Amino acid sequence: MTPLLRMEGISKRYGGVRALEAAHLACARGRIHAVLGENGAGKSTLLKIAAGVVKPDTGTIELDGAPIALAGPAAARRLGIASVFQELSLLPDLTVADNIGISDPPTKWGLIDHRAQRRLAEAALARVGATDIHPLARVRDLPLSRRQLVEIAKALARDPKILLLDEATSALTAADVASVFRVLQKLRDHGLAIVFISHRMTEIAELADDCSVYRNGRHVSTFVAGSKAPTEIIEMMIGRDYSSVFPSRSPRSPGPPGPPGPVERSSDPPVLKVTNLSWAGRLRNIDFEIRPGEVVGLGGLDGQGQRDLLLALFGALTGVRGSVAVNGVNVTLSSPQSTQLRGGGIALIPEDRKTEGLMLPMSVRDNLSFAALDQLSRFGFIDQAAEQTAIASMIQLLRIRADGLDGPVAELSGGNQQKVVIGKWLMTRPQIILLNDPTRGIDVGTKQELYQLLHTLAADGAALLFYSTDYAELIGCCDRVLILYDGAIVRVLEGDAISEHNIVAGAHNLATAAQPAAEPRPPGRPA
């Protein structure tokens, strides 16, 4: 049957970077098509072209056999192509109803008919199971997971023929994800064509009918979902041999041998000791310590205080009660500047690298040296030679790939950008490293490099506190996992006890370790 959407020979360059090279994609009616590939593979660009946000340099797009030219997002929408991207297209200061009806709202006498629009919004929200969202609420006041739901509701409100999703569920809670998947499957059965990008193999396994893999802007392969093994798929994506993702840390994880030797549980005094930490009702009596060389993970459902804990330890919160001791000495963390301590200090790899970790228009070099400026200067004057040497060695260590190190860091791929953020902090030689979901939206290849890096840092004596929404990461990287629920630590898992089952149980604050669930559950997102 003729595909509903067919893209052929699509090429797109951004300055010197080739985002897409003669790529093609075809999706049929009533099929869910997964698009896979590393960051920089061109997946987002391909979808943005289909959505009319970006214009291709060459190539054709056909809708139901007829060629179309998309002048902009409005044109795509009119043709029945709806899209949800990672950068949400919601207007924060407008209401949910206004957002859902933002393009082509129902009108009466030339003006917007707010009542009809509200009915439209309520229907759209109900369709995705978001009945707890009030149509008159301002989007700005909603948490990220609700916003993503509104975004999806908005896309579906127009009864599109094709739905494009780019990491559209990254911030959703598990219940929401399940609910959205049900809706998508139902719509698929009614003939909707869905193209979606995801870095999560579990999502792909659950949802996709067909898969296409891209690498370096080119199409590699298209196949029916389930016909290839995950390792095979990953190898297609990164184009090289794919061995264990996580360096082995302790006897608990059998498998191909990784870097030499497990890290011995040291008996040194703790680098970080947190006692009775509380904040604004969102963190309650947190007690834990980290020894040098330990990687401690924060687990639990999204929004239980994990991110707040990291911010508290970095001095970005006020009204924090309790005490924090570094190397046995109590410290008052009143601002990020107070994290600069003898012995290395505390570093934070923040939640959003684009707005919190980097100055996008500034060069890669300037970004790298930014946090260490005080150490690289005398009496306020920057020691240029020392700065360049430090930068060069960091670039080498992290294998940061950039065409122009003097060019703006905005031009780098997501994975390389995250490396710059980490490199910036490594230049301050921190003793304690806090990581806020560092591999979100990063491709498999770079993730692997980052895991290796974390392992090396721990082996060198740093103490790591690592928040991740990915269970596989917590299991693969951490010596201990603290499960947070409602701002308090409800469970501490160590060594062999760190398993997906226990993490899930702890996350839901289930007191006893119940029997594992009947049906096999793939690792990754919570139940």
Name residues contacting other proteins, limited to 288-347 (CB under 8 A): 308, 311, 314-319, 335-337, 339-340
Structure tokens at 74: 């409005």
Lookup result for tokens 């994609």: 25
- Provide the minimum distance between the beta carbon of 14 and other proteins in the complex, in angstroms, as a whole number: 8
- Provide the minimum distance between the beta carbon of 242 and other proteins in the complex, in angstroms, as a whole number: 32
DSSP state, residue 95: B
Candidate residues 68, 79, 102, 386; the one interacting with other proteins per rule CB under 8 A:
102
d(CA 111, CA 97): 15
Nearer to other proteins, 140 or 399 (CB): 140
Structure tokens at 338: 């107070």
d(CA 521, CA 527): 9
Nearer to other proteins, 21 or 411 (CB): 411
- Provide the minimum distance between the beta carbon of 110 and other proteins in the complex, in angstroms, as a whole number: 7
The yes or no reply on residue 126 touching other proteins (CB under 8 A) is no
The yes or no reply on residue 123 touching other proteins (CB under 8 A) is no
The yes or no reply on residue 144 touching other proteins (CB under 8 A) is no
Neighbour-count burial for 341-374, b at 16+ CB within 10 Å, e otherwise = beebbbbbbbbebeeebbeeeebbbbbbbbbbee
Q: Of the ranges 25-33, 129-137, 222-230, 452-460, which one interacts with other proteins (CB under 8 A)?
A: 129-137
Which of 198, 434, 420, 196 minimizes the C-alpha distance to 326?
434
Nearer to other proteins, 374 or 496 (CB): 374
The yes or no reply on residue 210 touching other proteins (CB under 8 A) is no
Which of 322, 246, 326, 259 minimizes the C-alpha distance to 289?
326
Q: Is 29 exposed, middle or buried (0-12, 13-18, 19+ CB in 10 A)?
A: middle
Nearer to other proteins, 212 or 428 (CB): 428
Candidate residues 31, 43, 77, 188; the one interacting with other proteins per rule CB under 8 A:
77
The yes or no reply on residue 492 touching other proteins (CB under 8 A) is no
Nearer to other proteins, 381 or 512 (CB): 381
Structure tokens at 319: 């009204």
Conformational region of residue 22, where left means phi above 0, alpha means psi within -120 to 50, and beta covers everything else? left
Nearer to other proteins, 126 or 517 (CB): 126
The yes or no reply on residue 110 touching other proteins (CB under 8 A) is yes
Q: Of the ranges 265-273, 322-330, 378-386, 464-472, which one interacts with other proteins (CB under 8 A)?
A: 378-386
Nearer to other proteins, 264 or 406 (CB): 406
Beta carbons within 10 angstroms of residue 214's beta carbon: 26
- Provide the minimum distance between the beta carbon of 273 and other proteins in the complex, in angstroms, as a whole number: 22
Nearer to other proteins, 221 or 340 (CB): 340
Candidate residues 2, 57, 91, 255; the one interacting with other proteins per rule CB under 8 A:
91
Nearer to other proteins, 118 or 525 (CB): 118
Nearer to other proteins, 257 or 404 (CB): 404
Using an 8 Å Cβ cutoff, are 244 and 256 in contact? Answer: yes
Candidate residues 69, 328, 342, 381; the one interacting with other proteins per rule CB under 8 A:
381
> DSSP for 331-394?
E---SGGGG--TTS-EEEE-S-IIIII--TTSBHHHHHTSTTTTTTEETTEE-HHHHHHHHHHH
- Provide the minimum distance between the beta carbon of 442 and other proteins in the complex, in angstroms, as a whole number: 19
Using an 8 Å Cβ cutoff, are 252 and 481 in contact? Answer: no
The yes or no reply on residue 189 touching other proteins (CB under 8 A) is no
Nearer to other proteins, 114 or 228 (CB): 114
- Provide the minimum distance between the beta carbon of 160 and other proteins in the complex, in angstroms, as a whole number: 13
Cβ contacts of residue 203 below 8 Å, gap of 6+?
169, 177, 524, 525
Nearer to other proteins, 201 or 434 (CB): 434
Distance of CA 196 to the CA centre of its chain: 15
Q: Of the ranges 53-61, 293-301, 506-514, 517-525, which one interacts with other proteins (CB under 8 A)?
A: 53-61
Beta carbons within 10 angstroms of residue 9's beta carbon: 13
Site string for other proteins, 343-372 (x = CB under 8 A): -----x-x----xxxxxxxxx--x---xx-
- Provide the minimum distance between the beta carbon of 406 and other proteins in the complex, in angstroms, as a whole number: 4
Q: Which of residues 263-282 bind other proteins (CB under 8 A)?
A: 279-280
The yes or no reply on residue 88 touching other proteins (CB under 8 A) is yes
Using an 8 Å Cβ cutoff, are 376 and 463 in contact? Answer: no
- Provide the minimum distance between the beta carbon of 135 and other proteins in the complex, in angstroms, as a whole number: 9
Total residues interacting with other proteins, rule: CB under 8 A: 79
Q: Which of residues 3-22 bind other proteins (CB under 8 A)?
A: 14-16
HEC sequence for 477-489: HCCEEEEEECCEE
d(CA 97, CA 138): 9
Structure tokens at 363: 């060069």
The yes or no reply on residue 411 touching other proteins (CB under 8 A) is yes
Candidate residues 59, 407, 441, 524; the one interacting with other proteins per rule CB under 8 A:
407
The yes or no reply on residue 467 touching other proteins (CB under 8 A) is no
The yes or no reply on residue 59 touching other proteins (CB under 8 A) is no
Structure tokens at 82: 């709806």
Q: Is 436 exposed, middle or buried (0-12, 13-18, 19+ CB in 10 A)?
A: buried
